[in-house]
Structure 1
Amino acid sequence: MNKQEKVMSHPVVELFEIEPDIIQVKMQDRVHKNAFSKELTRGLIQSFELIQASSSYKVVILTGYDSYFATGGTQEGLLRIQQGITNFTDDNIYSLALDCPIPVIAAMQGHGIGGGFVMGLFADLVVLSRESVYTTNFMKYGFTPGMGATFIVPQKLGLSLAQELLLTASNYRGAELEKRGIPFAVLPRQQVMDHALELARQLAEKPRNSLITLKDHLVAPLRAQISRVVEQEIIMHEKTFHQAEVKDRIAQLYGN
């Protein structure tokens, strides 16, 4: 870990070569607590474009800083969708991990909120922290889930737990999700990155072409369905996002 080489300079996203075969994408928009600001969105897209253009890396570790992994839409971003100015599909960051040709490990050492949690679930391997909060809190704001949440949450967590998360929009600590039997490693926050690195090294032992070929096979059904699901989520947003109550909830929940 001491010989990290910076691959990309960006204000809020660091791209580091941890080892010759392992690349780390670290989100650290401290002003917005890793909400999907324009800066974070651009940084993530640029990072994965660089990774895709490389022919050397075998595995990606996606992580955040301190107690934050990723915290979903900013107030400005949600209001722009509520007003019909944009859609969450305008900048596709939710499936960056799914579309990445090499395996991605989401080291969710910190809170994963809304679209931030969903983005992590699109990774091939996931590690959570016991202390952190994870939630698909879209309905807390009064609009139906987006970011592919209605698809990937049931896929990764099972239908019953996914329905509970999506409908109630409640907060769950990693320790609670562990007790509910989620199929991911759940560790103390300080151990999450070490465990992700251990997993990455196991993957990096394999031939790159074999990793790409197997991932392509494993995620093919997900890639085939995601566009249709996102189209359905956009239709639901047209029915739910533009309510005046949603605008009020966004203002209230952001403290304005």
Structure 2
Amino acid sequence: MSAEKVVDLQFVAPQVVQIRMQDRTSKNTFSEALTEGLMGAFAQVERLPDCKVVVLTGYDNYFASGGTQEQLMNLSEGRGAFTDRAIYGLPLHCPVPVISAMQGHGIGGGFVLGMFADLVVLGRENIYTTNFMRYGFTPGMGATFILPQKLGLALATEMMLSANNYRGEELQQRGIPFPVVPRDRVLTHALELAQTLAEKPRVSLVAFKDHLSAPLRQALPATIAQEVEMHAVTFAQPEVRAKIATLFGA
């Protein structure tokens, strides 16, 4: 399936762009088509002077599902790094505010991608997990940087170390600082929020996002480098390769 079909970009309200990830074949894992589509969509946003805010969402019960099994096996065999296609930083580096409407499950790098947005809306019934350590390798995609920033150190550490699944409702009870609504209301809530932002002047939104994001953009590369170093050690373990082969998708 082409990148154009698996990632749809359209204006859904005046000055509000929706980017929908809809790779049904891969359940929104970071397939080549989804990766290319995301990179192309965010590049297109930069060329849209009428765009004031982006709503990033998925399809049905899937927001984003992280790396494919093939990608993880390649990493375990020392072929490439997650930095080869740095899609995790797309929301952070987008010039206008990005809202993650996480209407479906956010898994591994898919959950991390959503956390790089400026604003986040979660679904009560959905599963959110940073499941890297389930396979025995350390978190990547900037998880060790952005999750403590967005969730707080204690919860982020628990999520990454345990690799457990968390329902949105449970995260709400744990005090996360994001709206958590019924999953069939996530996109509506995000669009309502987007329309509120779109009432502001674009130049002010761009300037303020640049101001708020600057410390994150400056600090992220050092953490990414550390994550890549940890991957060089942890992915090389035979146990990790075995877990990827047997547990992926289970």
- What one-letter code is carried by the residue in structure 2 that aligns with 1:225? A
Partner of residue 42 from structure 2, selected from 27, 43, 48: 48
Indicate which of 5, 13, 28 corresponds to 1:19: 13
Structure with more of its chain in helix, by fraction: 2
Code of the residue aligned with 1:156 in structure 2: it is: K
**Which digits, 9 at most, give the CA deviation of each residue in 1:10-60, with x for residues without a partner?**
120110111230000000000110000001000000000000122110000
Whether 1:196 and 2:190 are equivalent positions in the alignment is yes
Aligned positions of 1:13-162 closer than 5 A? 13-162=7-156
Unmatched runs of 5 consecutive residues or more in structure 1: 1-8
Q: How many residues align?
A: 249
Alignment TM-score, normalising by the size of structure 2: 0.98
Q: Is the contact between residue 13 and residue 195 of structure 2 (CA under 8 Å) also seen in structure 1?
A: no
Q: Where in structure 1 do 4 or more consecutive aligned residues deviate above 6 Å?
A: none
For residue 74 of structure 1, what is the amino acid of its counterpart? T
TM-superposed CA distance for 1:255, in Å, is 6.3
Amino acid at match of 2:118: D
Partners of 1:241 and 1:254 lie apart in 2 by 15
1:177 paired to 2:158: no
Any idea what the Cα deviations from partners look like across 1:117-139, whole Å, max 9, x if unmatched?
00000000000000100000000
* Unaligned stretches of 5+ residues in structure 2: none
Q: Structure 1 CA distance, aligned partners of 2:13 and 2:170?
A: 33
Task: Determine the C-alpha separation between the residues in 1 that align with 2:10 and 2:20.
Answer: 8
SS of equivalent residue, structure 1 residue 94: helix
Aligned-residue sequence identity (percent) comes to 60
What residue identity is the alignment partner of 1:85? Answer: R
SS in 2 for 1:85: coil
Q: TM-score, normalised on structure 1? A: 0.95
Q: Which amino acid aligns with 1:230?
A: I
